[in-house]
Chains A and B, each alone.
Chain A
Amino acid sequence: GNSVTQMEGPVTLSEEAFLTINCTYTATGYPSLFWYVQYPGEGLQLLLKATKADDKGSNKGFEATYRKETTSFHLEKGSVQVSDSAVYFCALTSPGSTLGRLYFGRGTQLTVWP
């Protein structure tokens, strides 16, 4: 079946530090992969996505590359800011899905200190 395994948190970093949040998945075929972000007290917002192998999604300084050989989609940012403090969710949809059902990881809490 489909599943997402995400690095356990919480992650605490100083401002301008490098961020990596690991995400690996299990799925048949080529799923679409997503990173969502949840700021305190809010719903989820799409941060970036990739729909095929070797694609790189990027947004707001965050990047993630779809690695089929390692079934991974790790999130990275070169220099985090206090405003990046949030919960980050890795997710996938099944290949060819017409339902759009998302399979989520458990989420990783990121706290950035000034």
Chain B
Amino acid sequence: SQTIHQWPATLVQPVGSPLSLECTVEGTSNPNLYWYRQAAGRGLQLLFYSVGIGQISSEVPQNLSASRPQDRQFILSSKKLLLSDSGFYLCAWAKKRDRTLEAFFGQGTRLTVV
């Protein structure tokens, strides 16, 4: 069976510090991978998606970047965090099931920038 791991679960970082969130998927190959953010009082926003190693697409301009150094590894980074980067970050992967692509989410990382 497939599983997705995301860490850390919580993180408190000062403004201007770097960020690295990691996500790995097990039990599948060449998955579509995604980073979503859930800001307080708002819905989920897609930040990045990747359809293969080294292939990253960004949905919105921002202070963050993503990389996919291995097939089942997806990393979210920032060189200098802003207060507005606070939120709940979710990694996800998708597979085809019942004529549609179904997404599976990690447990999330609660990031607080202080």
Contact = CB atoms under 8 A, between A and B. Distances in A.
Contacts of A107: 38, 43-44
A52 B99 CA distance: 10
A89 B43 contact: yes
B77 interface: no
Contacts, number: 63
Interface in A21-46: 32, 34, 36, 42-46
Contact of B108 (A32, A43, A99): A43
A6 B44 CA distance: 12
Interface residues of B, number: 26
Contacts of B43: 6, 89, 104-107
A57 to B, nearest CB: 10
A60 B5 CA distance: 25
Interface in B90-114: 90, 92, 94, 98-108
B49 A51 contact: no
A100 B49 CA distance: 9
Interface in A61-83: none
B31 to A, nearest CB: 9
Contact of B105 (A32, A45, A105): A45
B9 to A, nearest CB: 8
B86 to A, nearest CB: 16
Contacts of B38: 107
Contacts of A36: 105
B90 to A, nearest CB: 6
Given A100-B103, A101-B46, A101-B49, 8 more contacts: A44-B44, A51-B99, A99-B101, A100-B34, A101-B34, A102-B34, A104-B43, A104-B44
